[in-house]
Structure 1
Amino acid sequence: MAVSFDDMVVIPSIVDLIGVNRVKPIVVVAWEAPPLDFLKLNVDEAMPRDRSKGGIGGILRNCDGRCIASFFGSVGQGCPILVELLALEIG
């Protein structure tokens, strides 16, 4: 939806309507089991934009999908990639 500058001046609330009808595709990603006699470690991190604090977590599963071990914890400041590597190291 194209909105002219004049329209934004006369009807400021029209800006709120821009992008309302945009639909983001939903991507479904299913967990895949590791090969027989292998384990699979999944880790993730969460960090706010200001990188002031964050959290990590992980889960270790066998080829049947059963949880063997899991962990989670808080982390301080840091780059998201380095925090993810920390989660791998702990896992």
Structure 2
Amino acid sequence: MVKSFFWELPQKDEIKLNIDGAARGNPGKGGIGCIFGNCDGKVLGSLSKGLGPVTNYMAECEAIIHGVDYTALVGWLIAWIESDSTTAVESFKSENIPWVLEAT
């Protein structure tokens, strides 16, 4: 099945957080990236971070945590978080994140 998705702008005064995380080897050395965009399509900021040995799922979860932490630090209101990992997003929606990340 092939699906097409299009990037949508957030509402005025809201931020869209696009995240990705990956591990080379799964598990293996990983990394994360986050991009913060506004309603005009302007990139307001980005962050990236290398991780030690993780799975792809754990890297995706770390990306969500770091992205949300950064938006809170800056004082932005998040419209939504967009990820290619449905599993990671659903874990946060159901408040069932991996216990090793709860103290992060």
TM-score tier by shorter-chain length is 0.5 to 0.7
The corresponding residue for 1:78 is: 54
Point out the structure with the larger strand share: 2
The corresponding residue for 1:89 is: 65
Root-mean-square deviation (CA, aligned residues, Å) is 1.7
Q: Structure 2 vs 1, CA of residues 41 and 51 (structure 1 numbering), >3 Å: closer, same or farther?
A: same
Can you give the 5+ residue segments of structure 1 that lack an aligned partner in the other structure? 1-23
- Of 5, 8, 24, 1:48 maps to 24
Whose relative contact order is higher, 1 or 2, with alpha carbons under 8 Å and at least 6 apart?
Answer: 2
- Tell me the secondary structure at the aligned position of residue 76 of structure 1: strand
Which runs of structure 1 show a deviation greater than 2 angstroms over 4 or more consecutive aligned residues?
none
The corresponding residue for 2:100 is: none
Report the more deviating stretch, 72-81 or 51-60.
72-81
The corresponding residue for 2:101 is: none
CA deviation string 1:31-90 (max 9, x = no partner): 111112211101001212341101110100011110111011211111222221111111
- Count of matched residue positions in the alignment of Structure 1 and Structure 2: 67
1:37 aligns with 2:13: yes
Sequence identity (%): 36
Can you give the 5+ residue segments of structure 2 that lack an aligned partner in the other structure? 68-104
The corresponding residue for 2:35 is: 59
